[in-house]
Structure 1
Amino acid sequence: MFSRKRIVTIAAALAGLLFGLDIGIIAGVLPFITSEWQISSQDQEWIVSTMMLGAALGSVSNSWLSSRFGRRTSLIGSGVLFAVGTLGCAFATNLTTMLVFRVIQGFSIGIASYSAPLYLSEMSPKEERGKRIAMYQVMINSGIVLAFLSDTYFGLTGNWRAMFAVLVIPAVLLIWAVMMMPKSPRWLASRGRMDEAKTVLHGIRESEHEAHSEYSDIVDSLKIKQSGFELFKTNRHFRRSVGLGMVLQFMQQFTGMNILMYYAPTVFKLAGFTSHLEQMISTVLVGLAFVITTAILAPFIDTWGRKPALKIGFAIMGAGMFCLGLLLKMIEGGNHAPVLAYLAVLMAIICIIGYAMSAAPMVWILCAEIQPLKGRDFGISCSTTTNWVANMILGATFLTLMESIGTTNTFWLYACLNAVFIVVTILFVPETKGVALERIEANLMSGAKLKAIGLPS
C-alpha cells in the first residue's frame, strides 16, 4: 500500500513525464510528417507551436478550474485530455486535423504544467519544496528522453503514428495515480474546508507540531480579504509578484533551450549529420544530459539556492549558444571536418546542462513560491500562460529566424539574451530556499523589494 506522500510524488512525476513526452515526441515525428505530407517550414512551425497555443489556453482556463475544483481534479482532467489529443494526432490524416489535436494535447499540458508544481509546492515541507519540484523537472526531462528513444525506435520503420499512440499509456497511469492523491490543504483552506485541511496536514507532516504550525500560518494568510484578479487590481505588491513570475517564465523560454528539443534533428543536420539515425542519436545524447544533470543536482536544490544557480546557468547557456553559432558558421562556410559536428553536439549538451541546473527547475520553483495564497491560482496562471506564449513564439519563429537572419546570428541572439537575463536575476530575483511560503508572502505584502522577499525575517 502506497503512503500518501509517495502517491503525491508518483502522480506529480507522471504529470511531469507527460509534459516531457509531449515536448520530445515532435522532434522525431516532424521529419516524417514533413516528408509524407510535403509541408513547408511554416507548417512545421505550426505543428510545433500549436501545442504551445493549447497549453497557453489550458493555463488560462486552469486558473478558474484549479481554484474552483482543486489541483487534483485538474490533473485528472489533464490526463483525459492528453489521451484524447494523443490518439487524435496518431490517426490524423491531414495537417488541419493534426493541428486541432495538437491544440488539445497542449491544453492538457497547460493544465498539468500549472497544477503539478503548484500542488507540489503546497504539499511539500519548506525544507524539501525545491527538491520535490526539481524532481518533477527530472521527470519532464525523462519524458523527453523516452520520447527521443521512442522516436529513434519507431523511426527505423518511419512509423510516426506509433510515436504518438504509445503516449496514451502514461496518461492512463496519471489518471489512476491522481485519483488516490489527497487534496491540497491550502486549497481546502481557501475553500473554507478547514477541518479537512487540518486532517490532510496531519497526514503528510512528520510531527503534530509541524502540522499545527503550518496550519496556523495558512489561517493567517487567509486574512487577506481580496483574492485572484480582485487582489491583482487592488494590491500593487501582488502585481509585483505576478510581474516577476511572468518575467521569469519569459526568461526561461528565451534562453533558447527548447529549440534544441523541438528542432534537434534539424540543428544536427545543419551540423553535418546526414542520416536520421545519426540525428536522433545526437538528440538522445542531449536529452540524456538533461536528465542526468537534473537528477544529480536535484537533491542539492534546497542547499545551494535558486539565485546562484540561475546566474551560473545563464552564463553557461550564453557561452554555449555563442560557441554553437560559431561552429555552425564554420560548417556553413565549407569546413566539413567531422570534429566540428561532434563539437556542435558537445556545445548543445553544455547548453542543456546549463539549463538543467538553472532555469529549467528554478523558474518553476520560484513561480510556485512567490505568489500569496489568496492570489496563487491567478499568479501562477499568469506566469504559466506567459511560459507557453513565449514557448509558442519560440517554436513558431526559429526556422523563420534562421532563414531571415542566418543560423549563426539566430544562436548569437539567444546568447545575448542569456547575458541580459544574468543582469535581471541580480537585480530582481529573490533567494527563497528554506523559507516558508507564508513568510515569503508576508515579506512581499509588507513592501520589501522583490529581491528581498525571500529573507527569513
Structure 2
Amino acid sequence: MSQSGEYPSPAAATGSLLAGNARFMNTFISFAAAMAGLLFGLDIGVIAGALPLITEHFSLSSQLQEWIVSSMMLGAALGALANGWFSSRLGRKYSLMIGAVLFILGSLGSALAQSAEILLLWRVLLGFAIGIASYTAPLYLSEMATESVRGKLIAMYQLMVTLGILLAFLSDTAFSYSGNWRAMLGVLCIPAIILLAAVFFLPNSPRWLASKGRHIEAEQVLRMLRDTSEKARQELNDIRESLKLKQNGWGLFKSNSNVRRAVFLGMLLQAMQQFTGMNIIMYYAPKIFSLAGFTSTRQQMIATVIVGLTFVLATFIAIGMVDKAGRKPALKIGFSVIAVGTLMLGVCLQMIDRGNHSAGISYLSVGMTMMCIAGYAMSAAPVVWILCSEIQPLKSRDFGITCSTTTNWVANMIIGATFLTLMGHIGAAATFWLYSALNVAFVMVTFILIPETKNISLEKIEHNLMAGKKLRHIGQ
C-alpha cells in the first residue's frame, strides 16, 4: 500500500513490474556478453605465461614462438570474416553460441597438443572463436542498449576483457611453479561452458529481428529491455524507419561512397588500436621484463600480473568518462600517454642494453609499461570497439563490422608475428620508439577525422553519415 493507505494503481504496478523486468534482463545480457569478454581476455593473456614453458617443451625458435602467438590472430581474422555471415543469417545469439562451443574445443585441444604444429592448429580454432566473440558481443550490446548507456555497457565488456587478461596472468603465475602449461591452456574451457549456458537464455537482438521482418518478436524483446511500453514502441518505429532504405552490405559498399567512408573509418580505427603496440605487452610481457633486468620467472610473472591489474583498474576510467567526456577526449589522452610511455620505455631499455643494470631503471621500465597499458585501457582498448559498433549504417552494419574486426585481427597478427623479429633487427629500444611515433600520428588522426558519438542514437549517426557530413561531424 502507499503511504496514504491506497493501493498503487494497476498502471503504476505494471510500470514498476516492467521496469524491474527490464533491469533484470539488461543485467543478464550484460553478464552473458561479459563472459564472452572474459574468455576473449583469458585467451589473449594466457599465452604470456605459457609461451616460455611451451618454448622450452618443444624447443621453439623465435619464429615459431611468433607463430604460436599470432596463429590465434589468424584464426580470429577468419572467424570475424565468417561471422559476418553467421551474425547476419543466424543472429547475434546463435553466433555467440557457436563461439562458446569453439572456445571449449580449442581450449581442450590446445592443452592436449602433442607437437608445436598441432598446437598451432588448435590455436587457429581458438582464434576463430575469439573472432566471433570480438565481433558479436559489442555488436549485440550496442543493439540492445539505449544510447545513454551504450558506451558504458561496451566499456564494461572491455573491462571483462581486461579482467580476463589479469586472471590469465594470475593463473599462469600459479601454474608456472609446476611448469604446467597444459593446465594454463585447458582451464579456459570452464568459463567457456558458463558462456554457452548463459547465451542459451539470451533473446535475439531486436534490430536483427526487425531486419528479418520479425517485427512482433522485435517489439516483444524491446518490451523486455525498456522500462515502458512507449519507449519500446518508439524504438521499434525508429528501427523500422532506418530499415526502409533497401540496402545490403557488399552491394551498398560498392554503390554508396558514404558507406565506404564508414567502413574505411572502422578499419582505420582498428588498425590504430593494434599499432599502438600494446597487445605485444600482453603476448610478450615476461620477455619484455627479462630485457628490463628481471631475470627470474617469479619476478617476470609478478611484474606481468601488476601490468594486468593496471589494465583492469584503468578500464574503470573509460567506463566513467566514455559517456560523459566522450570518445574523442579519451582517444586523444590515451594515445598521448602511450606515446610518452613507449618513448621512455625505449630509453630505459637502451640504458640497460648499454650496461646500466640498476634496480631503479628496471623499476622505471615497469612503471612506463604500466603507464602505456593505463593509457591504452582508458582509451583505444574500449573506445575503438564502441565507435566501430556505432558508425556503421544498420543495413550494412554486419559487413562494416566484419571489415573492421578482420582488420583488427590482421593488424594484431602482424604485430604478434613481427615483435621478436623487429627487436632482433633494430633493437628493443628502437622497436618501442617506432610505436611511440605511431601513437603521435594517431593523436593527430583523432583530431582531424574521428567523430564524437556520445549520447547520439545509432539512427541519427546513420542519418548524418548518409547525408554526406564530414566524418568528424557525423555525431552532431
TM-score range (shorter-chain normalised) is over 0.9
Displacement of 1:207 in angstroms is 1.9
- Say yes or no: does 1:326 pair with 2:347: yes
Question: Among 57, 74, 77, which residue is 1:56 paired with?
Answer: 77
Aligned pairs for 1:264-283 (under 5 A) are 264-283=285-304
CA distance in 2, matches of 1:217, 1:291: 36
1:13 paired residue among 7, 14, 34:
34
Deviations 1:8-54 (A, max 9, x none): 01100000000000000000000001111111000000000000000
Counterparts of 1:107-118 in structure 2, within 5 Å, are 107-118=128-139
Aligned partners of 1:356, 1:89: CA distance in 2, in Å? 28
Is 1:195–2:235 an aligned residue pair?
no
1:107-146 to structure 2, matched below 5 A, reads 107-146=128-167
SS of the residue 1:366 aligns to: helix
Query: For residue 166 of structure 1, what is the aligned residue in structure 2?
Result: 187
**What residue number does 1:95 align with?**
116
- 1:309 is paired with a residue whose SS is helix
- Which digits, 9 at most, give the CA deviation of each residue in 1:70-112, with x for residues without a partner? 0000000001001101111100111110000000000000000
Equivalent-residue separation in structure 1 for 2:72 and 2:58 (angstroms): 19
Provide the rounded CA distance (Å) in 2 between the counterparts of 1:206 and 1:388.
38
TM-score with structure 2 setting the length: 0.95
Q: Which moved more, 1:50-59 or 1:228-237?
A: 228-237
Q: Secondary structure at the match of 2:175?
A: helix
Partner residue in 2 for 1:411:
432
Identity of aligned residues (%): 60
Letter in 1 for 2:69: V
For the pair 1:287 / 2:308, whether they are aligned, the reply is: yes
Pick the structure with greater CA Rg.
2
Report the secondary structure of 1:303's partner residue. coil
Residues in 2 aligned to 1:231 and 1:296: alpha-carbon distance in whole angstroms: 37
The worse-fitting range, judged by mean Cα deviation, of 204-213 and 445-454 is 204-213
CA contact (8 A) 2:318 2:382 kept: no
Please, which of 269, 273, 276 is the counterpart of residue 252 of structure 1? 273
Give the drift of 1:209.
Answer: 2.5
Deviation at 1:436, TM superposition (A): 0.2
> What's the counterpart of residue 244 of structure 2?
223
Q: 1:424 to 1:297 in 2, by over 3 A?
A: closer
Q: CA deviation at 1:296?
A: 4.2
Distance 2:446 2:465 in 1: 17
- Alignment partner of 1:67 is 2:100: no
Shift of 1:299: 3.1
d(CA) in 2 for partners of 1:73, 1:226: 24
Q: Would you say the 8 A contact 1:4–1:182 is kept in 2?
A: no
Aligned counterpart, 2:414:
393
Does residue 317 in structure 1 map to residue 317 in structure 2? no
CA RMSD of aligned residues (A): 0.9
Corresponding residue to 1:426 among 447, 451, 456: 447
CA separation in 2, counterparts of 1:294 and 1:79? 25
Residue 67 of structure 2 corresponds to residue 46 of structure 1: yes
Partner of 2:15: none
**Structure 2 runs not aligned, ≥5 long:** 1-20
Runs of 4 or more above 4 Å deviation: none
Alignment match of 2:175 (pick from 106, 129, 154): 154
Residues 82 and 105 in structure 1, CA contact (< 8 A), matched pair in contact too = yes
Q: Deviations over 1:424-457 (max 9, x none)?
A: 11111000000000000000000000000000xx
Does structure 2 retain, via aligned residues, the 8 Å contact 1:7–1:180? no
Q: Paired residue for 2:49, among 18, 28, 44?
A: 28
Instruction: Calculate the TM-score normalised by the size of structure 1.
Output: 0.99
Is 1:453 the counterpart of 2:474? The answer is yes
Secondary structure in 1 matching 2:278:
coil
Alignment of 1:307 with 2:307, yes or no, is no
What secondary structure does 1:335 align onto? Answer: coil
Structure 1 position 208, deviation (Å): 2.2
Query: Match for 1:336 among 341, 348, 357?
Result: 357
Matched, 1:383 2:409: no
1:81–1:108 contact (8 Å) kept in structure 2: yes
Aligned equivalent of 1:235 = 256
Amino acid paired to 1:62:
N
Cα separation, 1, equivalents of 2:322 and 2:451: 15
Cα distance, 1:371 vs structure 2: 0.3
Instruction: Supply the AA of the counterpart residue of 1:385.
Output: T
Contact 2:318 2:379 in 1 (8 A): no
Structure 1 unpaired stretches of 5+ = none
Deviations 1:142-189 (A, max 9, x none): 000000000000000000000011101000000000011111000000
CA deviation vs aligned residue, 1:314-351 (integer Å, no higher than 9, x gap): 00000000000000000000000011111000000000
Secondary structure of 1:433's aligned partner:
coil
Partner deviation per Cα, 1:248-294 (whole Å, 9 max, x = no partner):
00000000000110000000000000011100100000000000111
- Bigger shift: 445-454 or 202-211? 202-211
**Cα deviations by residue, 1:191-226 (Å, 9 ceiling, x for unpaired):** 110111111111101222222221111001101112
Q: How many residues in Structure 1 have an aligned counterpart in Structure 2? A: 455
Q: Please give the alpha-carbon distance, in whole angstroms, between the structure 2 residues aligned to 1:65 and 1:297.
A: 30
